[in-house]
């Protein structure tokens, strides 16, 4: 049970890249299937299409790559925070929880603390990380800004999952103006 305590460089970033790639490929495939379905529908072959259960399943599958990555991240964050917080005293305020997420959770999940935490004291928090883990290997220019967005969905979900398990329902979005600096916007549901 202690094989996780070694200080190995777990190739998480490679694994994460593969997951992103897989989800993107899947979204692409679904688009094709939908298009095919639309074409066949317009040429009046719908009965035949509907007998193909695989196709129907893909057709009605919800969400694009981003949301699916987010929900995978949610699951991971939800379980991970339980492990990290098990020895912590009970948090009394919302701000305590946010601080915990920005320090302990961030350190064990993304290797460092956040650089800046701001709030308007009405349930909106902005978490800034100037060198965010999943995009820290990207080129520091505008070149890959668009591609990088996909690499932030999973961590967003992790943050949301962590907060959920600590008793806070939230919506987490992210924005990124210059790589590798990322801002996470946490909107707490009232």
Partner 1 sequence: MSKQSKTTGVVDSRKMSGELFTLTYGALVADLVRDFERPAEVNRQLDKMGYNIGLRLADDLLAKNSQISRCTDLHQTADVVAKTALKNYLGVTAQVTNWSSNNDEFSMVLESNPLTEFVEVPSDLSELRYSQIICGAIRGAMESLHMEVTASVVTDVPNPTEIRVKFIRILQEYLPAGEED
| Residue 158 vs 188, nearer CB to partner 1 | 158
| 158: number of Cβ within 10 Å | 27
Piece in contact with partner 1 (CB under 8 A), picked from 12-20, 89-97, 116-124, 168-176: 12-20
Binding mask 119-158 for partner 1 (x = CB under 8 A): ------------x-x--x----------------------
| 6: number of Cβ within 10 Å | 7
Instruction: Tell me the C-alpha distance between 19 and 136, whole Å.
Output: 17
Piece in contact with partner 1 (CB under 8 A), picked from 43-51, 107-115, 145-153, 169-177: 107-115
- Beta strands 116-119 and 182-188: pairing type? unpaired
The least distance separating partner 1 from the CB of residue 78, rounded to whole angstroms, comes to 9
Q: Is 3 in the site for partner 1 (CB under 8 A)?
A: yes
Q: Which long-range contacts (CB under 8 A, 24 or more apart) does 137-146 make?
A: 137/13, 138/179, 138/180, 139/179, 140/178, 140/179, 140/180, 141/179, 142/178, 144/179, 145/176, 145/179
Residues numbered 163 to 182 that lie near partner 1 (CB under 8 A) are none
Structure tokens at 65: 């790559």
Residue 107 contacts residue 113 (beta carbons within 8 Å): yes
Q: Is 22 in the site for partner 1 (CB under 8 A)?
A: yes
The least distance separating partner 1 from the CB of residue 119, rounded to whole angstroms, comes to 25
Q: Is 86 in the site for partner 1 (CB under 8 A)?
A: no
Residues numbered 35 to 64 that lie near partner 1 (CB under 8 A) are 54
Strand spans (E) along the chain: 116-119, 124-129, 170-175, 182-188
Q: Is 5 in the site for partner 1 (CB under 8 A)?
A: yes
Q: Is 8 in the site for partner 1 (CB under 8 A)?
A: yes
Instruction: Tell me the C-alpha distance between 151 and 121, whole Å.
Output: 29
Residues near partner 1 (CB under 8 A):
1-12, 14-16, 18-19, 21-22, 26, 54, 68, 72-73, 75-76, 79-80, 83-84, 108-112, 131, 133, 136
């Amino acid at each position: 049970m202690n094989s996780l305590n070694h200080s190995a460089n777990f190739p998480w970033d490679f694994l994460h890249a593969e997951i992103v790639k897989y989800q993107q490929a899947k979204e692409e495939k679904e688009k094709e299937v939908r298009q095919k379905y639309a074409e066949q529908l317009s040429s009046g072959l719908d009965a035949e299409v509907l007998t193909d259960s695989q196709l129907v399943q893909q057709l009605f599958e919800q969400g694009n790559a981003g949301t699916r990555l987010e929900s995978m991240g949610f699951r991971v964050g939800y379980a991970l925070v339980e492990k990290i917080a098990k020895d912590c005293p009970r948090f009394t305020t919302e701000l305590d929880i946010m601080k915990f997420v920005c320090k302990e959770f961030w350190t064990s999940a993304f290797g460092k603390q956040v650089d800046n935490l701001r709030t308007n004291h009405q349930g909106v928090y902005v978490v800034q990380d100037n060198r965010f883990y999943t995009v820290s290997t990207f080129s520091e220019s505008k070149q890959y800004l668009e591609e990088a967005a996909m690499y932030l969905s999973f961590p967003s979900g992790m943050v949301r999952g962590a907060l959920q398990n600590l008793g806070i329902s939230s919506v987490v979005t992210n924005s990124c103006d210059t790589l590798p600096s990322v801002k996470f916007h946490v909107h707490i549901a009232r």
